[in-house]
Amino acid sequence: MATLALSPHPTQDRLITAVLNQWQIEGSSGISARRLAARADVPVSSIYHHFDSLEELQVCAQQRARHEAENWCAALLEAIGDFPACPEAFGGFFAHVIDAWCEAQRHLAFAWRECDSVPDTEHLIHGEAQAWQRLWYEFWREACAHFQVAHGHVITKRIFDTESMFHLMRWHRAIDQAALGELARTLGSWLAGTPPPPTPWRDHTRALALKTMPALPERDETARRIVVAAQQVLAEGGSPHLTHRRVARRAELTLGTVSHKFPTKSELLGAAFEGAYSVMVDKLDPRSFSSADLDAVIHAIADSISSATRERARNELFLAVARDPALSHFGRQLRYLRGRTGRGLLQSLVGSQRTITATEGALFSDFSLGQIRRHALFPSYDICGQIRAEFVELLALFERPSPDA
């Protein structure tokens, strides 16, 4: 397979740009030769003249995106010498990286997420996903070393993986920026061994999100079966595989019944997102884990990884909310209500000597989701051992003496 040339043919360049735009606006579900050719304003035959297949075109688009991301990261690391080299300064840098990545480099952020969302059968693109992981691993290793928090670079990478997804969900620019800054400073306090800072923006927005949580529509028994089936089909194959026929087969209903309840593809996709959202809301109940030990948490995460097809529905929901302003009300709940279960879990693991804040619960949720995402994408023979090692690193942060002690 050909790799992306540094100076591609103008038609290649237009087609690659069309793919990047498609990933940002609609995602992989809208990828087709006809649509890409129209976006690039070239004949469909041009795709197969310059590329062996649509998959090769998408791989070249991933290579372009990653090359741009590498240059962006290199520029940040080159400038890092002008930044304070102390743990207390790390939070500001972490927030800046996420905000700049999700806003100024938004097209690259979506390309990365799409790369991680492809089915395992697409081996060529899956190799690009590994390259993205190496890029961010090395970036955070170097950045953490500068700020003298090298002991936390894996934890930082896991949290970045998750938080940079949530920050793609735009709700209220000023609030989102302020809340991100508070979360980043809380992470900085973990790494520096200092008490967590106050987080008035996140506290206010969390209360607002809880108060305004959208009520899901009332469904009859048949519609509920369709919602569950649609969520399952979405989880297994992503939105390109979500069809009325597949959902009817999964729900054990006739095609006519499914089409009557949800006539269009967009309505069926909405039903699938409703199902995914319901699953997430159910997991937000903080009473789910009133007590826990490390082994229980590790095995719960390992179980989530072993059934990682369910994660695709969640990722599709996240990306849909990030793309569509009409879904911003869901973004508020997804961004600011997470961590209620995580807070209780972390409190159980840390013990009574330290009270865990709501923002720390959100950070712990970020860390756990980052673990699930990393190990689901690249499974190893010793998943439980790797998860345990990372949890030991995390819990060690709560045993570090304060610099003022």
- DSSP one-letter string for 130-192: HHHHHHHHHHHHHHHHHTT-GGGHHHHHHHHHHHHHHTTS-S-HHHHHHHHHHHHHHHHHHHH
Contact 202, 358 (CB under 8 A): yes
Residue 52's Cβ-side half-sphere holds a number of Cα atoms within 13 Å equal to 9
For residue 294, is it within any domain? Answer: yes
Report the length, in residues, of the chain: 405
**Has residue 285 been placed in a domain?**
yes
Running DSSP on this structure, what letter comes out for residue 215? P
Contact 319, 110 (CB under 8 A): yes
Distance between CA atoms of residues 383 and 374, nearest Å: 10
363/160 Cα distance (integer angstroms): 10
Burial code (b: 16+ CB inside 10 Å, e: under 16) for 123-133 equals eebbebbeebb
User: What pLDDT does 296 receive?
Assistant: 75
Q: How many domains does the chain have?
A: 1
- What local confidence, expressed as pLDDT, does residue 283 receive? 52
Tokens for 262, please give them: 């949800």
Q: What is the pLDDT of residue 286?
A: 45
Domain membership flag for residue 247 = yes
* Beta strand segments in 260-318, E: none
Domain that holds residue 223: 212-397
**Residue whose tokens read 């995460």:** 301
Q: What are all long-range contacts of 1-9, with beta carbons under 8 Å and residues at least 24 apart? A: 1/52, 1/56, 1/59, 1/124, 2/51, 2/52, 2/56, 2/60, 3/60, 3/63, 4/60, 4/63, 4/64, 4/67, 8/60, 9/50
- Between CA 92 and CA 104, with CA 98 as vertex, the angle to 5 degrees is 115
How far CA 49 is from CA of 84, 124, 218, in Å, comes to 51, 19, 51
Cβ pair 346, 275 in contact under 8 A: no
Q: Which of 200, 151, 141, 137 is nearest to 398 (CA)?
A: 151
**pLDDT value for 307:** 58
For residues 26 and 205, what is the distance between their CA atoms, to the nearest angstrom? 28
376 in any annotated domain = yes
User: With a cut of 70, which residues of the chain have pLDDT below it?
Assistant: 1-8, 119-124, 214, 280-293, 302-311, 400-405
Contact 140, 77 (CB under 8 A): no
Residues 143-189: tens digit of each pLDDT: 999 999 999 999 999 999 999 999 999 989 999 999 999 999 999 99
**Domain assignment of residue 362, yes or no:** yes
Q: Which residues contact 53 (CB under 8 A, 6 or more apart)?
A: none
Whether 125 and 55 have beta carbons less than 8 Å apart is answered as yes
Q: 318-345 in b/e burial notation, b at 16+ Cβ within 10 A?
A: bbbbbbeeebeebbbbbbbbbbbbbbbb
Answer whether residue 248 is part of any domain. Answer: yes
Report the CATH number that the domain containing residue 256 is assigned in CATH. 1.10.357.10
Residue 340, domain member (yes or no): yes
- Which region holds residue 341: left if phi is over 0, alpha if psi is between -120 and 50, else beta? alpha
Helices (H) and strands (E) in the chain, counts: 20, 0
Is 117 inside any structural domain? no
What three-state secondary structure class fits 292?
coil
Residue written as tokens 């992470």? 187
Count the Cβ atoms, other than its own, within 10 Å of residue 372.
22
Residues 253, 226 contacting (CB under 8 angstroms): yes
